[in-house]
Amino acid sequence: MKGISFVTDETHNRRYAQIDLKGIAKYDDDALEDLMDILIAEARKDEKSVPWESVKSELIQEGKINVPNRRKTVSKKRA
């Protein structure tokens, strides 16, 4: 991708990415969002994963998401 260059260490391993904001301005927002997603995923690849149910429970407790009350309906059989 033009507008992005990498700085390497003495063993030629990529260490840093330099982003020329003017150079990447020509790309659409979706492409830039994809780039940011890749960078974030790469930065977090060694982090411990957390099960979705644990995250969901925490978000509910903190009031950050609402879960509607779901009532079970009982069907009555007619004779």
What's the CA gap between 70 and 2, in Å, rounded?
Answer: 51
Which amino acid is located at 56 in the chain?
A: K
More confident: 58 or 35: 58
Residues 6+ apart with CB under 8 A from 39: 17
pTM of the predicted model as reported, rounded to 2 decimal places:
0.43
Q: Percent of the chain beyond pLDDT 70?
A: 86
**How do residues 48-62 score in pLDDT, each as one tens digit?**
999 999 999 999 999
The set of long-range contacts for 33-38, using a CB threshold of 8 Å and a minimum separation of 24, is 35/1, 35/4
**How do residues 16-29 score in pLDDT, each as one tens digit?**
988 887 877 777 88
Two tokens at 13? 């391993």
